[in-house]
Amino acid sequence: MRKQIAAANWKMNLTFQQGEKLLDDILGANIDLADHQLVIFAVPSPYLLMTRSEVEEEKNYYTSAQNCYNKKSGAYTGEISAEMLHSINVPYCVIGHSERREYFNESNAVLAEKLNLCLENYITPIFCCGEPLSIREANTQNEFVAQQLKESLFHLSPEKIKDIVIAYEPIWAIGTGKTATTEQAQEMHAYLRSVLAAQYGQSISDQISILYGGSVKANNAKEIFGSPDVDGGLVGGASLVAADFIEIIKALKA
């Protein structure tokens, strides 16, 4: 079975102490993950080392950065490189979240550079894609999301593409309490898989985990994750509450 992943994205929330307590509470639930189940915490940069040390003894729990810069190194005050993340053994990095695309003008081309740097540094990118409401209303979401994949991912070799995780996050569902329906999520995930299959072949496409993001909650995760092409979720708000995120982890396909 493909990897089934519950990824928490804390965004710019929680103090260090609150983050530490949240991790303690979640790990304290002692959820035994199966080999194909992963839990990933995408935390603010100052919390990466703390998170790494909290999870390092735990089977299949991992740390992720929320972003990295699209240059290797140099005079870029305030930025963090993929090489720096690798040097502190961070194994995942979220790339192209819609908030980065919107507030920091990250283009598909810039995201392609970030993906390359992550892969060169042995970091698995969690590549986010997804359409705004206007595109959904015009019913052109498939073309829109396929273009994001094409411009950011399709330069990668078949060996490299297998090393990434994709997160489909319809922007109109992020932080709004409005989720895509199970049918809408499954339909888009199956479409993304078909786009990957057309480019790389079915057997490679079948190995790539595609997460759903956008108002995943404790009470809807099981249904959303149950769809055949949905391999878990990238969770914002509900990942900040231990009891809720614990339920979301338990909702991963067994």
Ligand X SMILES: O=C[C@H](O)COP(=O)(O)O
Binding residues (CB under 6 A) for ligand X: these are: 9, 97, 169, 174-175, 213-216, 234-238
Q: Distance from CA of residue 94 to its chain's centroid?
A: 6
- Indicate the residue among 125 and 237 with the shorter CB distance to ligand X: 237
| Cα 202 to Cα 8: distance, rounded to the nearest angstrom | 29
- Please, what is the minimum distance in Å from the beta carbon of residue 55 to ligand X? 19
- Indicate the residue among 19 and 213 with the shorter CB distance to ligand X: 213
Is 236 known to sit in a ligand binding site?
yes
- The helix-helix angle for 242-250 and 16-28 (nearest 10°) equals 40
Considering the candidates 54, 97, 99, 189, report the single residue annotated as catalytic.
97
CA distance from start to end of the chain: 10
Q: How many CA atoms lie within 13 A of 61 on its CB side?
A: 23
Q: Which residues contact 17 (CB under 8 A, 6 or more apart)?
A: none
Beta bridge partners of 95: 127
- Indicate the residue among 59 and 178 with the shorter CB distance to ligand X: 178
Tokens of 15: 């103090």
On whether the CB atoms of residues 70 and 114 are closer than 8 A, the answer is yes
Is 9 known to sit in a ligand binding site?
yes
- Please, what is the minimum distance in Å from the beta carbon of residue 126 to ligand X? 9
- Is 97 designated active site? yes
- Indicate the residue among 65 and 200 with the shorter CB distance to ligand X: 65
- Is 151 designated active site? no
Is 11 known to sit in a ligand binding site?
yes
Considering the candidates 54, 131, 169, 247, report the single residue annotated as catalytic.
169
Is 215 known to sit in a ligand binding site?
yes
Give the annotated binding-site residues. Answer: 9-11, 175, 215, 236-237
Give the annotated binding-site residues for substrate. Answer: 9-11, 175, 215, 236-237
Write out the catalytic residue numbers. Answer: 97, 169
